[in-house]
Amino acid sequence: MISTQADIAAALDALRLADGRLHRVIDAAGEVPLRRSAGGLQGLAGIIVAQQVSKASADAIFSRFTREVETDDAAAILAAPDEAFRRAGLSRPKQRTMLAVAQAVQDGELDFTRVEAASADDAIAELVAVRGIGIWTAECYLLFCAGHPDIFPAGDLALQAALGHAFDHEARPAAAAVALIAERWSPHRSVAARLFWSYYAAVTRRDAAPAPMSE
């Protein structure tokens, strides 16, 4: 599990040994933060908010949403009026996903204790069974909220751009190509993902890591 900054440092050392191409990436990236977030319903709610928006926008929306609704309480989310979602700035699709997740939690179909104890494949399968939850959201939950050590969200556009820049690709590599490249970094792919988000921030001066509510 990735739970401390020491875990990040140890994995970066292992990544240097595993792939010599990462030496200059690590040097250019600077600090690679832990970026652990709250788990459970609140953590998944934060990842849902972060879908397809900038980190700054996600942080602002989620901050407003937590003032409107108890985000760690499924019943409170289900009881929230439409106006609460609108005032927070959630889109209709994200509202529907949030309600579907809260309903699945209330019905016992989604159990975060079970998810966090499961293998990555089983955890992702349970998460994506909820309407509106895709692979990226499930992977980011495991990476940031559950501290899973070996997750690389290959569909993330910032990670694709970062790998393309670091490895001199003429065009941004597709998710399948990124996933193949990242296989070499197992069992430390979660820190590799953090590394490339940090590299992206260093190159573009924009933080794209989808990790609200950092502890």
| Per-domain boundaries in the chain | 5-35+150-204, 40-145
Give the phi and the psi of residue 214 in degrees, each rounded to 5. -65, 140
Is the per-residue pLDDT at 213 higher than 60?
Answer: no
**CATH topology identical between 5-35+150-204 and 40-145:** no
Using pLDDT thresholds of 50, 70 and 90, give the confidence band for residue 214: very low
pTM over 0.75, yes/no? yes
CA dihedral angle for residue 76, residue 53, residue 210, residue 95, rounded to 10 degrees: 20
Q: What is the pLDDT of residues 22-50, one digit of tens each?
A: 999 999 999 999 999 889 999 999 999 98
pLDDT score of 207: 86
DSSP 140-208: HIIIIIS--SS---TT-HHHHHHHHHHTT-SSPPPHHHHHHHHGGGTT-HHHHHHHHHHHHHHHHS---
Mean pLDDT of 154-179: 96
What is the CATH topology of the domain spanning 5-35+150-204? Endonuclease Iii, domain 2 (1.10.1670)
Higher confidence at residue 122 or residue 208? 122
- The answer to whether 209 and 196 are in contact (CB under 8 A) is no
pLDDT score of 211: 66
Assess if CATH 3.40.50.720 describes domain 40-145. no
* Residue 113 Cα distances to 36, 75, 150, 151, angstroms: 17, 18, 19, 18
**In the chain, what percentage of residues exceed pLDDT 70?**
98
Tokens 């901050």 -> residue: 63
* Residues 64, 69, 72: CA angle, nearest 5 degrees: 110
**At what angle are helices 175-182 and 189-204 packed, to 10 degrees?**
120
pLDDT score of 215: 40
pLDDT score of 108: 95
Q: What is the pLDDT of residues 88-143, one digit of tens each?
A: 999 999 999 999 999 999 999 999 999 999 999 999 999 999 999 999 999 999 99
Q: What is the pLDDT of residues 52-103, one digit of tens each?
A: 888 888 889 999 999 999 999 999 999 999 999 999 999 999 999 999 999 9
pLDDT score of 212: 54
Of 76, 59, 50, 78, nearest in space to 143 by CA:
50
| Spatial distance between the Cα atoms of 143 and 54, rounded to a whole number of angstroms | 18
Q: End-to-end CA distance of the chain, in Å? A: 15
